[in-house]
Amino acid sequence: MDVPRLRRSLLRWFARAKRPMPWRRTRDAYAIWVSEMMLQQTTVATVIPYYERFMKRFPDVETLARADEDAVLSLWSGLGYYSRARNLRAAARLIVERHGGVFPKTVDEARALPGVGPYTANAVTSMAYGTRAAVVDGNVRRVLSRLFARRGWSDVAAQKLAADLLAPRAPGRWNEAMMELGATVCTPRKPSCPRCPVASHCLGRSRPEYWSKGKPRREAVRVRVLMALVERNGRILLTRNAEGELMGGLYELPHSGMPRKAAKHAHSEELQGGVIVRDAGAAWTVRHAVTHHRIEAAIHRARLTRNRPPTGLTFHTVPEAWSLPLSGLTRKALRAAGLGRP
């Protein structure tokens, strides 16, 4: 394989074909780091509006370090994988305290931050500072598997090969180009080999899907949830999930049946110590995916059995509710009930 020629071909293609993304307009390590944290397990199309809102509210690491956790979670609400937001804020505090407000320039120092693993450390330092650090995500691994017609190799072997291919003068741009190729051309199914800029170098192009066959996906767990909409004087009743539960720390409508909670499926039963479902049929039904859970939530109009809500449940106006870190499921439920963001 002519590696120098392969590098030139891929970098020329990337220069003209890369998708416009707000974090590609800067070499600021903070902005790149935020984008990389958001992009974990999340599509570019989903991330862009969240990224733009987040950067407007927290334009630099100092602002994020001073932020209240609920303010960070509120802007993250609906993006999922909320530990990323908590780690981002915790790492921002360490960057201010130990690194003078500058994201670390070495991979080892970056990896010492909460939530920053090998991929994120390599990605941010290479793109922001030009550090010679190769990234290996799912897209890059697939490209490498097909280029070299290899299957089942270890993480160590994939990382070594990625490092060997790394363009010496533009490591960050090379990393972006490899990921872009995997995301837009060398896709998991039905890759666009005729328009691949490095097809002539690819040893696995005759049957690309064979070389990149991944592990079987974890089987989805179907979950049925009962949610209660309690309204009083223009306010809605919310509860906050305990830490350690699915969607822990987020505000939701009172509910039962959520994983790690005692399920109560009968509509006549109490929910969370004093919320009673009023009618036999659900007023609205919404569906939501969280990790490998596929949730179907039936939202019922409900009432309280007492004047004051039980401990842990609080009333909020609709604007107040939308300023809180709501779970994606409750956001969908409120919209279905005609109580969307004002």
**Residues facing 290 on adjacent strands:** 293
Is 152 found in the same domain as 265? no
Is 59 found in the same domain as 21? yes
Please tell me the distance from the alpha carbon of residue 138 to that of residue 212, in angstroms, as a whole number. Answer: 10
The single residue listed with the structure tokens 């505000």 is 251
In a domain, 341, yes or no: no
* In contact, 295 and 329? CB cutoff 8 Å: yes
Residue 176 is predicted with a pLDDT of 97
| pLDDT beneath 50, residues of the chain | 260-269
Ordered DSSP codes for 13-82: HHHHHPPP-GGGG---HHHHHHHHHHHTTS-HHHHHHHHHHHHHH--SHHHHHHS-HHHHHHHHTTS--T
In a domain, 114, yes or no: yes
Q: Indicate if 36 belongs to the active site.
A: yes
Residue 340 is predicted with a pLDDT of 87
Is 225 found in the same domain as 134? no
In a domain, 250, yes or no: yes
Domain boundary among 168, 192, 211: 211
Domain, as residue range, for 37: 3-211
From the candidates 36, 176, 180, 252, give the one annotated as an active-site residue: 36
- What are the residues whose beta carbons fall under 8 Å from the beta carbon of 195, sequence distance 6 or more? 185
Residue 41 is predicted with a pLDDT of 86
Domain boundary among 158, 177, 211: 211
Backbone angles phi, psi at 191, to 5 degrees: -65, 150
Residue 266 is predicted with a pLDDT of 36
Ordered DSSP codes for 172-205: HHHHHHHHHHHHHTS-SSS--GGG-TTGGG-TTT
* In contact, 38 and 20? CB cutoff 8 Å: no
Domain boundary among 211, 244, 273: 211
Q: Number of structural domains, the chain? A: 2
Residue 283 is predicted with a pLDDT of 86
Joined tokens for residue 104: 């670390």
Please report how the helices 118-129 and 29-39 are oriented relative to each other, as an axis angle in degrees rounded to 10: 150
Is 158 found in the same domain as 114? yes
We report the CATH number of the domain holding residue 298 as 3.90.79.10
Half-sphere exposure of 58 (CA within 13 A, CB side): 27
Q: Number of H helices and number of E strands within the chain?
A: 14, 10
Residue 262 is predicted with a pLDDT of 36
Residue 101 is predicted with a pLDDT of 96
Please tell me the distance from the alpha carbon of residue 251 to that of residue 323, in angstroms, as a whole number. Answer: 11
The single residue listed with the structure tokens 């300023």 is 323
Residue 270 is predicted with a pLDDT of 52
- The pTM assigned to this predicted structure is 0.84
Ordered DSSP codes for 257-280: --TTS-----TTSEETTTEEE-SS
Torsion angle of C-alpha atoms 240, 243, 247, 253, degrees rounded to 10: -20
Q: Residue 149 gets which letter from DSSP?
A: T
Which residue, 59, 60, 50, is CA-closest to 80?
A: 50
The single residue listed with the structure tokens 């199309």 is 45
In a domain, 243, yes or no: yes
Q: What are the Cα distances from residue 32, in Å, to 79, 96, 328?
A: 17, 17, 25
In a domain, 187, yes or no: yes
Is 68 found in the same domain as 42? yes
